[in-house]
Amino acid sequence: MLTRFKALFGAQDMTLGSPISCLIKFSIPLLIGNLAQLLYTTTDAVIVGRLVGDVALSAIGAAMPPYNFFLALFIGIGSGVTIMVSQYFGAKDYGNLGVSIGNSMTLVAVASVLITAIATPLTGAILRLVNTPPESFNMAKTYLIILFIGAVGNGFYNVLSSILRGLGDSVFPLLVLLGTVVLNIGLDMLFIAGFGMGVEGAAYATIIAQLLSSVICLIKIMTMHDTVKIRLYMLRPVQRIIRQIIHLGGPSAISMGIMFASTVFIQSLVNKMGYLVVTAITATIRVDSFAVIPSQTFQIAAGTFTGQNVGAGLMDRVRQGTKAVIIMSVLFSAAMVVSMLLFGRHMLSLFTRTESIIEMSMTFIYILTPAYIALSFSGSWMGVMRGAGDSIGPMWLMLFNNVIMRIPLSYLLARLTRSEANPNGNPNSIFFALMTAMTVGCVLTLIYFKAGKWRGKAIVGQDSARSPGAA
């Protein structure tokens, strides 16, 4: 059965066959993988919330925005190398393909060292800066320090799985992820329920599982001799390749950094509202993530499909693929939103037994409902543009949505809704601001996409003919 699944959904050349067929074959394993990834993070929250309590769940919620901010480096490298891998693979330029993969491994190793060295000693100061509630401060600090120390596993898995997807293989990362999800659940139960380690045990379970998944993906890439042969010299930084990864991935890193930084600013506002609000938002994000999965999945699929076909010079297929990916993204997003509205209360009860927290979380979800559909459109357009090599435009769009729109609007609405019951503002204001920013962002993304400047951003016409070792 596994062999038949891999034959049907395995690595593929997306420059051939029906665009919608290619996208479906690539997206199904990716969608399952994203669900598994969500299960991976949700398990920690469920086990911690149930076995340790609401304060511990609040600690994880307070720790994640600062952690995600530092991971923007990995996301940028992964984004840049995915574009390069998909375009070089589509152009059949195997020399540049191998050097791009090798140099990305070197970059992620350097980024891991920097994150661990810089972020770990600053953990306490960061949590104080964002007004972490005193009830959960020590737990959040312990959790965050362990994640920073183990950042190398997260970094390598994200980049190596991005490489595999750029080659059209979404099945192997899925199989690895499913295995590590099971491992993470087992380690959570062992460390938390068995050894009574609390949030510390959840953090150790996460970094062990991530490290193992990165090792397995590395072994897979190193043995793909029929597609790419990685040699030791390919790890040596090549100025042209490094510059290209930074050029393509830097804007994505900045975009994600901006988004995560805005989340940190928002978290600071949320933390002032008390640990019960932090707990409710932490639970909401876990459930809300199910509605976001389709747009994330099809954004990646659109990027890989576009990259390979731009590399091959097949712009007609890019247009066909764009239409197909939008339809799939909207349909899947609508289905997930309906499911979340019907079963959201039951899902929230997995994290906490506190009825007031569940009620607050459901209100947040109702407010965000229109934004999920808007995100399915904007995510598809973003994926196409990034796959074509345009990462600057999406960066500016992200900057506007999160800095110009979301942060000021959140603080403004919070200030306007202050009351005796909510002296730091009504928590609903945070989600009204987010919904508004995402909806306006969708309109702006459509305008930029229709302008068409992204069509001339391909890298293969610039340097694919140059020798792989050229500086």
* HEC readout, the chain: CHHHHHHHHCCCCCCCCCHHHHHHHHHHHHHHHHHHHHHHHHHHHHHHHHHCCHHHHHHHHHHHHHHHHHCHHHHHHHHHHHHHHHHHHHCCCHHHHHHHHHHHHHHHHHHHHHHHHHHHHHHHHHHHHCCCCCCCHHHHHHHHHHHHHCHHHHHHHHHHHHHHHHCCCCHHHHHHHHHHHHHHHHHHHHHHHHCCCHHHHHHHHHHHHHHHHHHHHHHHHHCCCCCCCCCHHHHCCCHHHHHHHHHHHHHHHHHHHHHHHHHHHHHHHHHCCCHHHHHHHHHHHHHHHHHHHHHHHHHHHHHHHHHHHHHCCCHHHHHHHHHHHHHHHHHHHHHHHHHHHHHHHHHHCCCCCCHHHHHHHHHHHHHHHHHHHHHHHHHHHHHHHHHCCCCHHHHHHHHHHHHHHHHHHHHHHHHHCCCCCCCCCCCHHHHHHHHHHHHHHHHHHHHHHHHCHHHHCCCHHHHCCCCCCCC
* 257/222: higher pLDDT: 222
Q: Please count the other Cβ atoms lying within 10 Å of the Cβ belonging to residue 196.
A: 11
* 53/264: higher pLDDT: 53
Q: Domain boundaries in the chain?
A: 21-455
What pLDDT score does 467 carry? 37
- Please determine, for residue 43, whether its predicted confidence score (pLDDT) is greater than 80: no
What letter would DSSP give residue 420?
S
**pLDDT grade, residue 227 (50/70/90)?**
confident
Q: Over the stretch 135-146, which tens digit does the pLDDT of each residue have? A: 889 999 999 999
Q: Over the stretch 264-300, which tens digit does the pLDDT of each residue have? A: 778 788 888 887 888 888 788 878 877 888 888 888 8
**Cα separation, 193 vs 197, whole angstroms:** 8
What phi, psi does 31 have (nearest 5°)?
A: -65, -45
Determine whether 356 is exposed, middle or buried from the number of CB atoms within 10 Å of its CB (0-12, 13-18, 19+): exposed
> Which residues, including other chains, have CB under 8 Å from residue 380's CB and lie 6 or more apart?
295, 298, 299, 302, 322, 325, 326, 329
Least confident of 4-13, 113-122, 149-158, 414-423: 4-13
- Please determine, for residue 411, whether its predicted confidence score (pLDDT) is greater than 50: yes
- CB of 167 within 8 A of CB of 84? no
Over range 329-348, report the average pLDDT: 88
What pLDDT score does 327 carry? 92
**Cα separation, 463 vs 442, whole angstroms:** 33
Task: Give the total residue count for the chain.
Answer: 471
What pLDDT score does 409 carry? 92
For 110, the enclosing helix (H) or strand (E) is helix 94-119
Residue with tokens 């994200």: 158
* Torsion region of 426: left, alpha or beta (phi above 0 gives left; psi -120 to 50 gives alpha): beta
**Cα separation, 161 vs 33, whole angstroms:** 11
